[in-house]
């Protein structure tokens, strides 16, 4: 227990102010953990020198798994020996990030004995992050997690831990059961998540409606975003109530409609649903009066990612509407085709979005057997450099055609 | 040993979420009818059955000790049957079926130093990355910058006085673990010097074809140095993305003087009104000035306030800028427009102004 807590005059400045202080958290952990005490010392040095002091590289993990543990080493091991190794473990969060106090305490008990006592709730991909332990603690941690039914998440070139919004558990806008879908996909692809075998990472994110609270359109290789096909459900009395309470229905709602498909005459709100773009604005503005329709499902989009390597991408439409019912066979069949193609033809560290850009969306669709439709583009091409297929006179087709 | 491997239980996945849902949620799953914000940071969801679920949202700070988690657990036991959840922006949410528990819980959270807020027309917590706390490629700290920016903007978290939602995110390098590229305001750590190749370590640690292939601008090529295979960097082509460093630890880019922060604006993820948009460059460089990063906090506050003063109701940062035009944005914010603002990567031409739609 006799470890020193270093002096940290620069970091101490970050204990001031009203936002929760991460420095206070590290100091709290440092009372018991020599690792966290050394982390304080190294971080103070980073603040003084304006430079990080971590090294990466070297494969660490638990037996039977190829991902879920990120190796991290101090580049000042003599000065801070307790963090010479300071690995991260990614723990697969329960769908929707729900916990009981008991489950969290069990994780704390493990982490108090075997790690720094520091966590992230949560990491960017969605996992519960245990921040900082040594290689020889990894197996004991895993075996204790095993006993409380928590498994580790993904890392490296594998399917990353899927994540989702709280969906039907606490949101009236959820157009499908995001938590059920997220858990189902997580369980269906355990091997793909735990044993990296892809060209690069592949993320699923499940959002219940086009508000997209888990940012799936920006951050998931496959974005599953809830939507509906029929008309917005309307309660005209509730609309009039909003108006009576002072809402400017024309200014706040009608004029903000991107499709210009609404009108309000002071008594009745009208929506030309065949032109509605399912943007959610009117529903967001009047949750008591408007709700998504009843014929609900999801839009499947593909390919978003951050800049590395070839530039950032947003996901684009692959399937405009699919019913989201277990076991989600239609989507999983598409996923299997995409993974097969990408695994065969993708370059090292090439995300699926970049792969599609390189081969062309048209060719990609052909390979995975999906027909091109106008919903997939914001506009048809405006350049005439078109790769046409060879044209045959009638009665002069290929042999396969003649055999039919 | 072989038996041990065979018997080892793997791939059992996360616990099923149903184990962690409070009874009120189980009973009303899929039956929620509408919700209202009852006060900043507190909302009520009303079910078709009439049941009411109160959510109290507080900032967690993201980097949390087990001591703090245990305190959260105690609060959950005291006020809501031990049930709690976290949000996609690192907030903690307590799920209450008793309305009378809301005020005392809010009081305790605030006394613990965890402000309640972040719902509705507010700034929610800043999604962020590891920074100097735990990352090899960080060009700035993450938690520290976030702490300073939110200390400064706290009133916009705890109150709902903005025209619309404002989402801030921070990533400490271009890898963007925080995927900040679709945020109203993105704070992005940047390197500004090419990697320094350590030829003695490249040969031991790196696969040279992978290193060459990792460069988006083809600036890295294989060379032989003192009889050993290595790589060289064509510096005029390098834009400091650090992808090579991630592949090859023998090519560090960290530089105390040249590392710093850039600020991007106008992105959004939600489909509401305008389609999702990328954030665009507003400020090419601000220095790392720990521990309080005053240049960054000032810049972010300025952006927030100019937007808040001029945007229409519901208008996100990007929607506001699209309405007024970028020249007005630079004028109103007082930001300098420089060569760095003009894109020169793929599809750069699509960002040139190709009309006479100009304001004067």
Q: What is the 3-state secondary structure (H, E, C) of A156-173?
A: CCCECCCEECCHHHCCCC
Reading the block at residue A394, the tokens are 């009638």
Quote the pLDDT of residue A77: 97
Could you give the 3-state DSSP secondary structure of residue A305?
A: strand
pLDDT tens digits along A246-304: 999 999 999 999 999 999 999 999 999 999 999 999 999 999 999 999 999 999 999 99
Q: Which residues, at least 6 apart from B66, have a Cβ–Cβ distance to it below 8 Å? A: A29, A108, A111, A112, A117, A118, A119
Reading the block at residue A191, the tokens are 């091997």
Tell whether A310 is within 8 A of chain B (Cβ). Answer: yes
Angle at the Cα of A241 (from A239 to A243), degrees rounded to 5?
A: 75
The rounded distance, in Å, linking the Cα atoms of B242 and B189 is 12
Residue among A22, A54, A258 whose CB faces B135 most closely: A54
Tell whether B154 is within 8 A of chain A (Cβ). Answer: yes
Q: Are B154 and A19 in contact (CB under 8 A)?
A: yes
Tell whether B196 is within 8 A of chain A (Cβ). Answer: no
Look at residues A122, A370, A402 and name the one whose alpha carbon lies nearest to residue B69: A122
Expressed in angstroms, the distance from the first to the final Cα of chain A is 81
Higher pLDDT, A404 or A166: A166
Look at residues A283, A305, A307, A285 and name the one whose alpha carbon lies nearest to residue A293: A283
Higher pLDDT, A159 or B1: A159
ipTM of the complex: 0.96
Q: Are B23 and B89 in contact (CB under 8 A)?
A: no
The CA-atom distances, in angstroms, between B333 and each of A280, B302, B306, B311 are 30, 7, 6, 13
Question: Best residue in B179, B189, B261, B281 to probe A by mutation, most A CBs within 10 Å?
Answer: B179
Tell the residue number behind the tokens 């087990």, with chain if given: B66
Tell the residue number behind the tokens 């963090």, with chain if given: A83
Q: What is the mean pLDDT of residues A121-127?
A: 94
Reading the block at residue B357, the tokens are 């739609």
DSSP B106: H
The rounded distance, in Å, linking the Cα atoms of B282 and B198 is 35
What's the sign of the alpha-carbon dihedral A184, A187, A191, A195? Answer: positive
CA distance B69 to chain A (A): 7
**Quick one: B205 exposed, middle or buried, by C-beta within 10 A (0-12, 13-18, 19+)?**
middle
Q: If you measure CA to CA, which chain B residue comes closest to A257?
A: B273
On the question of pLDDT at A69 being above 70, the answer is: yes
Question: B290-319 burial, b if ≥16 CB within 10 A, otherwise e?
Answer: bbbbebbbebbebbbebbbebbeebbbbbb
Higher pLDDT, A393 or A321: A321
For chain A, what is the mean pLDDT?
A: 95
Residue among B14, B114, B136 whose CB faces A94 most closely: B14
Cα Rg, chain A, nearest whole Å: 26
Q: Which residues numbered 150-209 in A keep a CB inside 8 Å of some CB on B?
A: 150-151, 163, 165-166, 168-172, 174, 177, 179, 183, 186-187, 190-191, 194
CA distance A370 to chain B (A): 25
Quote the pLDDT of residue B1: 45
Q: Are B175 and B140 in contact (CB under 8 A)?
A: no
Strand order in the sheet with A98-100: A98-100, B83-86, B91-96, B52-59, B42-47, B32-39
Quote the pLDDT of residue A56: 84
Task: Kindly report whether the peptide bond that precedes residue B266 is cis, defined as omega within 30 degrees of 0.
Answer: no
Look at residues A87, A85, A75 and name the one whose alpha carbon lies nearest to residue A132: A87
Could you give the 3-state DSSP secondary structure of residue B235?
A: helix
Where does the pLDDT of residue A393 fall: very low under 50, low under 70, confident under 90, or very high at 90 and above? confident
The rounded distance, in Å, linking the Cα atoms of A316 and A354 is 12
Q: What is the mean pLDDT of residues A217-226?
A: 97
Could you give the 3-state DSSP secondary structure of residue A332?
A: helix
A16 chain-B contacts, CB cut-off 8 A = 151
pLDDT tens digits along A28-55: 999 999 999 999 999 999 999 999 999 9
Instruction: Report the range of poorest mean pLDDT among A71-75, A79-83, A375-379, A389-393.
Output: A389-393
Test A100 with B82 for CB contact under 8 angstroms.
yes
Look at residues B41, B275, B301, B315 and name the one whose alpha carbon lies nearest to residue B185: B301
Q: What is the mean pLDDT of residues A73-84?
A: 97
Test A52 with B14 for CB contact under 8 angstroms.
no
Residue among B179, B292, B346 whose CB faces A218 most closely: B179
The rounded distance, in Å, linking the Cα atoms of B286 and B300 is 11
The rounded distance, in Å, linking the Cα atoms of B296 and B303 is 11
Question: Best residue in B206, B242, B269 to probe A by mutation, most A CBs within 10 Å?
Answer: B269
Q: What are the φ and ψ backbone dihedral angles of B284, each rounded to 5 degrees?
A: -65, -30
Q: Are B117 and B55 in contact (CB under 8 A)?
A: no
On the question of pLDDT at A179 being above 60, the answer is: yes
Task: Kindly report whether the peptide bond that precedes residue A309 is cis, defined as omega within 30 degrees of 0.
Answer: yes
Quote the pLDDT of residue B148: 98
The rounded distance, in Å, linking the Cα atoms of B123 and B304 is 10
A45 chain-B contacts, CB cut-off 8 A = none
Could you give the 3-state DSSP secondary structure of residue A371?
A: coil
Test B313 with A252 for CB contact under 8 angstroms.
yes
On the question of pLDDT at A400 being above 60, the answer is: no
Test B66 with A29 for CB contact under 8 angstroms.
yes
Look at residues A200, A195, A158 and name the one whose alpha carbon lies nearest to residue A310: A200
Looking from the CA of A289 toward its CB, the CA atoms found within 13 Å total 21
Tell the residue number behind the tokens 């304006």, with chain if given: A50
Where does the pLDDT of residue A396 fall: very low under 50, low under 70, confident under 90, or very high at 90 and above? low
Q: What are the φ and ψ backbone dihedral angles of A262, each rounded to 5 degrees?
A: -125, 155
Test A94 with B34 for CB contact under 8 angstroms.
no
Tell whether A258 is within 8 A of chain B (Cβ). Answer: yes
Look at residues A121, A128, A134 and name the one whose alpha carbon lies nearest to residue A35: A134
Q: If you measure CA to CA, which chain A residue comes closest to B240?
A: A308
Test B113 with A88 for CB contact under 8 angstroms.
no
Look at chain A and count its residues.
Answer: 404
Where does the pLDDT of residue A59 fall: very low under 50, low under 70, confident under 90, or very high at 90 and above? confident
DSSP string for residues in B6-66: HH------SPPGGGG--HHHHHHTT-EEEEEEEETTEEEEEETT--EEEEEEEE--SEEEH
Q: Which long-range contacts (CB under 8 A, 24 or more apart) does B69-74 make?
A: B69/A104, B69/A105, B69/A107, B69/A108, B69/A119, B69/A121, B70/A104, B70/A105, B70/A108, B71/B112, B72/A101, B72/A104, B73/A101, B73/A102, B73/A104, B73/A105, B73/A108, B74/A101
Expressed in angstroms, the distance from the first to the final Cα of chain B is 78
Quote the pLDDT of residue B303: 98
pTM above threshold 0.90: yes
Quote the pLDDT of residue A397: 58
DSSP B196: -
**Quick one: A7 exposed, middle or buried, by C-beta within 10 A (0-12, 13-18, 19+)?**
exposed
Test B136 with A219 for CB contact under 8 angstroms.
no
A250 chain-B contacts, CB cut-off 8 A = none
Q: Are B80 and B95 in contact (CB under 8 A)?
A: yes
Residue B217: CB atoms within 10 Å = 12
CA distance B147 to chain A (A): 6
Task: Give pLDDT < 50 ranges for chain B.
Answer: 1-2, 4
């Amino acid at each position: 227990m006799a470890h020193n807590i270093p002096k940290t005059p620069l970091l101490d400045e970050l204990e001031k102010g009203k936002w929760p202080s991460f420095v206070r958290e590290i100091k709290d952990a440092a009372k018991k953990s020599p690792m966290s005490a050394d982390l304080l010392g190294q971080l103070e040095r980073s603040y003084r020198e304006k430079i990080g002091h971590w090294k990466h590289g070297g494969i660490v993990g638990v037996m039977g798994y190829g991902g879920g543990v990120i190796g991290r080493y101090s580049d000042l091991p003599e000065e801070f020996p307790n963090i010479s190794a300071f690995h991260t473990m990614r723990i697969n969060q329960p769908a929707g990030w729900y916990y009981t106090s008991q489950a969290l305490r069990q994780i704390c008990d493990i982490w108090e004995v075997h790690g720094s006592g520091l966590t992230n709730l949560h990491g960017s991909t969605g996992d519960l992050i245990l921040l900082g332990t040594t290689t020889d603690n990894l197996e004991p941690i895993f075996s204790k997690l095993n006993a409380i039914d928590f498994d580790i998440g993904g890392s490296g070139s594998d399917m990353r831990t899927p994540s989702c919004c709280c969906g039907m558990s606490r949101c009236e806008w959820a157009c499908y059961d995001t938590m059920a879908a997220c858990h189902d996909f997580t369980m269906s692809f355990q091997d793909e998540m735990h044993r990296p075998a892809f060209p690069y990472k592949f993320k699923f994110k499940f959002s219940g409606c086009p508000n997209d609270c888990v940012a799936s359109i920006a951050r998931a290789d496959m974005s599953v975003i809830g939507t509906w096909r029929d008309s917005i459900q309307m309660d005209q009395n509730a609309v009039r109530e909003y108006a009576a309470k002072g809402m400017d229905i024309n200014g706040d709602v009608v004029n903000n409609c991107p499709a210009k498909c609404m009108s309000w005459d002071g008594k009745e709100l009208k929506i030309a649903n065949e032109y509605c773009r399912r943007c959610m604005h009117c529903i967001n503005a009047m949750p008591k009066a408007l709700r998504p329709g009843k014929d609900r499902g999801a839009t499947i989009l593909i390919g978003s990612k951050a800049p590395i390597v070839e530039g950032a991408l947003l996901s684009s439409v692959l399937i405009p509407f699919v019913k989201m019912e277990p076991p989600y066979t239609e989507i999983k069949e598409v996923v299997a085709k995409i993974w097969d193609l990408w695994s065969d033809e993708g370059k090292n560290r090439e995300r699926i979005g970049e792969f599609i850009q390189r081969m062309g969306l048209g060719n990609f669709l052909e390979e995975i057997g999906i027909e091109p439709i106008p919903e997939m583009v914001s506009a048809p091409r405006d350049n005439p450099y078109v790769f046409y297929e060879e044209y045959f006179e009638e009665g002069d087709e290929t042999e396969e055609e003649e055999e039919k | 040993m072989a038996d041990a491997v065979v018997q080892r239980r793997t791939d059992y996945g996360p616990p099923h979420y149903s184990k962690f849902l409070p009874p009120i949620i189980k009973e009303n799953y899929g039956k929620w009818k509408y919700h209202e914000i009852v006060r900043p940071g507190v909302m009520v969801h009303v079910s078709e059955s009439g049941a009411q679920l109160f959510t109290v949202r507080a900032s967690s700070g993201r980097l949390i000790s087990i001591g703090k988690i245990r305190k959260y657990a105690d609060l959950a036991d005291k006020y809501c049957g031990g049930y709690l959840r976290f949000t996609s922006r690192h907030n903690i949410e307590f799920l209450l079926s008793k309305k009378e528990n809301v005020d005392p819980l809010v009081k305790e959270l605030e006394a613990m130093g965890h402000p309640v807020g972040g719902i509705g027309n507010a700034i929610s917590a800043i999604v962020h990355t590891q920074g100097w706390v735990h990352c090899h490629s960080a060009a700035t700290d993450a938690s520290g910058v976030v702490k300073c920016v939110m200390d400064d903007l706290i009133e916009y978290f705890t109150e709902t006085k903005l025209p619309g939602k404002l989402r801030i995110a921070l990533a400490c390098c271009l890898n963007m673990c925080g995927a900040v590229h679709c945020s109203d305001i993105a704070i992005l750590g940047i390197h500004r010097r090419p990697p320094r190749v350590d030829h003695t370590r490249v040969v031991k640690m790196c696969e040279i074809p992978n290193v060459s292939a990792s460069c988006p601008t083809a600036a890295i090529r294989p060379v032989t140095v003192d009889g050993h295979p290595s790589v060289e960097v064509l510096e005029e082509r390098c834009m400091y993305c650090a992808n090579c460093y991630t592949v090859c630890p023998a090519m560090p880019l960290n530089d105390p003087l040249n590392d710093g922060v850039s600020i991007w604006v106008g992105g959004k993820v939600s489909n509401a009104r305008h389609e999702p948009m990328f954030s665009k460059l507003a400020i090419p460089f601000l220095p790392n000035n720990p521990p309080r990063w005053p240049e960054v906090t000032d810049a972010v506050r300025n952006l927030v306030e100019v937007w808040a003063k001029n945007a229409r109701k519901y208008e996100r940062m990007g929607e506001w800028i699209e309405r007024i035009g970028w020249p007005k944005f630079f004028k109103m914010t007082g930001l300098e427009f420089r060569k760095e603002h003009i894109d020169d990567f793929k599809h750069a031409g699509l960002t040139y102004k190709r009309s006479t739609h100009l304001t004067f």
